[in-house]
């Protein structure tokens, strides 16, 4: 049994089962969520579906008051190579540079990638800019044979998949 006794949580070996042994604050819950996210996105762990990643994204991005753009880099067996914040922007936008994404993909020897970014407004609706940058990234990465599996827009607790909307 793994223990997070410092913050009053205990995690069993069975995924999804957690116990508290004392009252916990919202800060304690966020700390535990951050630990779970790090474990979920640990190098070498297989990502069995993009929706598995989507479940953890709101907690990862909840604390950002400005737009952040993330990438989950995967190998050819969809095992995680890295989960990284690539770009930080303003309240309403973030500049994303395909050249830098291609460069980092090559450095990690990625075969596939899942993108995610937040909308601090709370609306998980993809903008035309979101659709445009996704297509630019997809085209650039196709040149080096990296497959874009999905791009998630996170607004508060809501997550929108561009792949599920047929936009990939």
Examine the pLDDT at 152 and tell me if it is beyond 50.
Answer: yes
Distances (CA, A) of 19 to 14, 30, 60, 61, 90: 12, 15, 21, 24, 38
Please tell me the pTM assigned to this model: 0.78
Q: Average pLDDT, stretch 79-89?
A: 94
Long-range contacts, stretch 104-111, CB < 8 angstroms, 24+ apart: 104/71, 104/73, 105/73, 105/141, 105/144, 105/146, 106/144, 108/73, 108/81, 108/82, 109/75, 109/81, 110/73, 110/74, 110/75, 110/81, 110/146, 111/74, 111/75, 111/76, 111/145, 111/146, 111/147
Q: Which of these ranges, 5-19, 23-37, 92-106, 111-125, has the smallest mean pLDDT?
A: 5-19
Better pLDDT: 35 or 125:
125
* Helices 98-108 and 128-142, axial angle in degrees (round to 10): 40
Tens-digit pLDDT profile for residues 111-135: 999 999 999 988 999 999 999 999 9
Q: Provide CATH 3.40.140.10 ranges for the chain.
A: 50-161
Q: Which CATH class is domain 50-161?
A: alpha beta
């Amino acid at each position: 049994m793994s223990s997070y006794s410092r913050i009053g949580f205990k995690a069993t070996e069975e995924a999804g089962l957690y116990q508290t042994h004392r009252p916990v604050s919202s800060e304690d819950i966020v700390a535990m969520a951050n630990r779970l996210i790090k474990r979920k996105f640990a190098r070498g762990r297989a990502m069995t579906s993009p929706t598995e990643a989507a479940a953890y994204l709101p907690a990862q991005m909840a604390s950002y008051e400005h737009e952040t753009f993330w990438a989950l880099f995967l190998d050819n067996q969809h095992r995680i190579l890295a989960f990284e914040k690539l770009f930080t922007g303003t309240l309403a936008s973030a500049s994303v540079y395909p050249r830098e994404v291609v460069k980092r993909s090559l450095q990690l020897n990625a075969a596939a990638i899942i993108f995610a970014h937040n909308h601090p407004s709370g609306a998980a609706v993809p903008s035309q800019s979101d659709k445009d940058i996704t297509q630019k990234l997809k085209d650039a990465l196709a040149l080096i044979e990296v497959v874009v599996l999905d791009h998630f827009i996170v607004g508060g607790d809501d997550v929108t998949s561009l792949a599920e909307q047929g936009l990939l």
